[in-house]
Structure 1
Amino acid sequence: MDGAAVGTMRAAVVGGPRGIRVERVALPEPGPGQVRVRMEGCGVCGSNLPVWEGREWFRYPLPPGAPGHEGWGVVDALGPDVSSLKPGDRVAMLSSAAFAEYDLADAASAVVLPPSLAGKPFPGEPLGCAMNIFRRADIQPGQTVAIIGIGFLGAVVTRLAANAGARVLAIARRPWALEVARSQGAAECIPLEDPHRIIERVKALTGDALCDRVIEAVGTQGPLDLAAELTRVRGKLLIAGYHQDGPRQVNLQLWNWRGLDVINAHERDPKVYVEGIRMAVDAVASGRVDPFPLFTPFPLAQMDRAFEALRSRPEGFLKGLVTP
């Protein structure tokens, strides 16, 4: 890009609540073990939403490109001691300032994309999250799996669970999201309305046995309560929703009585994240997972629109991608 030639680039700057501007800033230089990536795009994550909405504990402006962490692009420069990658490699990566024309990443946190994915968007981090949730759920053929919340994560995990031979019960508020779940292989689609009705419906579908696995992918109190109610004795309850608006209460009597295995499916080990991205690359390249219909693109200059869509969830919106 022209910016690289003159030592600058364009980057989004979150200057305050609901206030994103695009500035020209210095082009970053890779340090030891790092690569610089010319960004093709970056996903907009639900965990970014409070930063955009504003909370009293945030300090603005954020660094240029932050908090973009779902980026992919082409390696254009290597730092010292990097031999695993070369300029021209197309990669998905873990980084922290990918809402920009360029970002830096540790070479160990970048996964090369195969030629079969050329030209296709690939936000590796959220796809890797879905793979790691699926891995930790240990879903087996013939099991009944309830997935509460059909956003991007819930849709991808629905496909993975259906591919594994499970009967998937998709539970979501939005009728069109249930249609997405059906297209991803859900056997039953249940509106997320009256919890009592949902519990009775699931009992009827399972002969009162309830579900072998329940994946909560909403991040609020009510769906977490419902998830526990739907998990059978000695079943697994996976918390995939990002609970970021305060403490939660749980019915520990129920958890104890049923002997539930409760798994917090959020990873924090970069090596595990990267392994999830590698699994996602294989799943998408082989055609087992098709995330591309789930994406909605936005240009860098319209990032506020991307965040507003993330907040309001208009019909058809599952995953926003920002492209420079």
Structure 2
Amino acid sequence: MAALAGRRGRVAVSVSPAAAPSGLSIPDTMRAAVLFGPRDLRVVWKPVPVPGPADVLVKVAMCGTCGTDLAIQDRPFPGQPPFGSFTPGHEWTGVVVARGETVDEVAVGDRVAIHVHHGCGRCRNCLNGSYTACLNYGNVAKGHRASGFTVDGGFAQYVTHHASSIYRLPDQLDWEDAVLVTTAGTAMYGIDRAGGLVAGDTVVVVGPGSVGLTTLQVVRALGAGVTIAVGTRDERLALATRTGADHVVNSRQTDPVARVRELTGGRGADLVIETSGHPTTPELSLRMVRRGGSLLFLAFYDEPVNFDIGRANREEVRLVTSRGEGRTAVGRVLRLAASGAVRGADLVTHRYPLERIQEGFEALRAKAGDPIKVVFTP
């Protein structure tokens, strides 16, 4: 692990003279969390990355977590760098401290948020705008990068990212609002893939976790007429009410299908968005959708699930899957956040310094204190 042992001095990183303003001191090493094995995340010294010609170097202000961050600690995802070298973290925000020589989209000193994926820019999917489904996913040599998945991410003091995947933060947003925009961007992109949202539609969101709660805010901001949250914990459902749900259903106490049908006059919801990832919820979600409606899957599932595809066919339900935050969804969410329609800070429940990252993830696994969004600060 010699590559991870660095001097603790402060010298200029080797970037072009125009990349950083005169007098800005950037260290040669930094503290970063490295995944050494399953559930073995350690904070070590690591070289500060050097931005390429089209990259920016960002000093991380805050990095959030989601269920995927837990999953990749147990079993590496496709394209994930090997244990002992890889720094996860994909929901990060911070300040630009250096730029590659071709970058003029942002300035040093800008506060920024990101979307995770930078597609290769050369495959058919990227050329059609579907860079989250890049055909060269994980192939860094061909230009693909997914921060915190296929290249180092934001559980560190510094991180590089391609200029095309960076967004300036509106002045009125603080770090905790900004750290949730990637999550909200996932909802926005999924709604795009589902064909959009017609003002006045009835929308059901299944699973009031961080994705579900931000999704409720997004669909409300986009003009949903009636919003219904389905979950299993009263405290989460109470938060769903505060973040945009007109009705809540505790599926441990009430049949959610019957209740949604009751609330919609027997018709079913126009759009159901499944965010929980529980193996029983896809089938439940299908039975909440009206004939000719849409079912959007934002969740990932550990195993195959039972699902009545025949019912979906008979009812002409549109089944839509979605991954990530494509089509500049994060930029659109930032505008909603600037208006106050989407508030990430309301969902940040646990805060840890980077040095306590393992403790934070153990709390997330154990659901100690009912964590919704756990964030780390370098």
Q: TM-score, normalised by structure 1?
A: 0.90
Q: How far apart in 1 are the matches of 2:285 and 2:227?
A: 14
Preserved contact between residue 37 and residue 75 of structure 1 (Cα < 8 Å): yes
- 1:309 deviates by 3.0
Instruction: Find the counterpart in structure 2 of residue 131 from structure 1.
Output: 188
Give the aligned residue type for 1:71.
W
For the pair 1:189 / 2:211, whether they are aligned, the reply is no
For the pair 1:226 / 2:279, whether they are aligned, the reply is no
- 1:22 deviates by 0.8
Question: Which deviates more from structure 2 when the two are superposed, residues 295-304 or residues 124-133?
Answer: 124-133
Instruction: Find the counterpart in structure 1 of residue 336 from structure 2.
Output: 283
Preserved contact between residue 260 and residue 288 of structure 2 (Cα < 8 Å): yes
* Higher fraction of helix: 1
Q: How far apart in 2 are the matches of 1:233 and 1:191?
A: 24
Instruction: Find the counterpart in structure 2 of residue 40 from structure 1.
Output: 61
Preserved contact between residue 10 and residue 101 of structure 1 (Cα < 8 Å): yes
- 1:235 deviates by 0.4
Q: TM-score, normalised by structure 2?
A: 0.78
Over residues 145-164 of structure 1, what are the superposed CA-to-partner deviations in whole Å (9 max), with x where a residue is unaligned?
11110011111111232341
Q: How far apart in 1 are the matches of 2:236 and 2:175?
A: 27
Give the aligned residue type for 1:253.
G
Q: How far apart in 2 are the matches of 1:306 and 1:140?
A: 39
Structure 2 gap segments, 5+ residues each: 1-7, 11-24, 117-146
Over residues 272-301 of structure 1, what are the superposed CA-to-partner deviations in whole Å (9 max), with x where a residue is unaligned?
2xx111111111111111120201322111
Q: How far apart in 2 are the matches of 1:256 and 1:140?
A: 23
SS in structure 2 at match of 1:204: helix
- 1:121 deviates by 4.8
| Aligned with 2:266 (options 208, 219, 229) | 208
Give the aligned residue type for 1:323.
T
Q: How far apart in 2 are the matches of 1:68 and 1:108?
A: 19
Instruction: Find the counterpart in structure 1 of residue 132 from structure 2.
Output: none
Q: How does 1:150-299 map to 2 (within 5 A)?
A: 150-163=208-221, 164-193=223-252, 197-243=255-301, 245-267=302-324, 269=326, 272=327, 275-295=328-348, 296-299=350-353
Preserved contact between residue 36 and residue 78 of structure 1 (Cα < 8 Å): yes
SS in structure 2 at match of 1:150: coil
Count residues with an aligned counterpart. Answer: 317
- 1:133 deviates by 2.8
Q: How far apart in 2 are the matches of 1:27 and 1:55?
A: 24
For the aligned residue pairs, the C-alpha RMSD in angstroms reads: 2.4
| Aligned with 1:107 (options 144, 155, 163) | 163
- 1:234 deviates by 0.1
Q: How far apart in 2 are the matches of 1:188 and 1:301?
A: 40
Preserved contact between residue 177 and residue 343 of structure 2 (Cα < 8 Å): no
Distance 1:86 1:130, change over 3 A: same
Q: What is the aligned-residue identity percentage? A: 30
Give the aligned residue type for 1:117.
L
Distance 1:170 1:120, change over 3 A: closer
Distance 1:268 1:186, change over 3 A: closer
Q: Report runs of 4+ in structure 1 exceeding 3 Å deviation.
A: 1-6, 53-60, 118-121, 134-137
Over residues 7-29 of structure 1, what are the superposed CA-to-partner deviations in whole Å (9 max), with x where a residue is unaligned?
11110111222222111111111
Instruction: Find the counterpart in structure 2 of residue 317 from structure 1.
Output: 371
Distance 1:119 1:201, change over 3 A: closer
SS in structure 1 at match of 2:285: helix
Q: How does 1:31-110 map to 2 (within 5 A)?
A: 31-54=52-75, 61-64=83-86, 66-93=87-114, 94=116, 95-96=147-148, 97-110=153-166
Q: How far apart in 2 are the matches of 1:254 and 1:119?
A: 44
Structure 1 gap segments, 5+ residues each: none
Question: Which deviates more from structure 2 when the two are superposed, residues 160-169 or residues 130-139?
Answer: 130-139
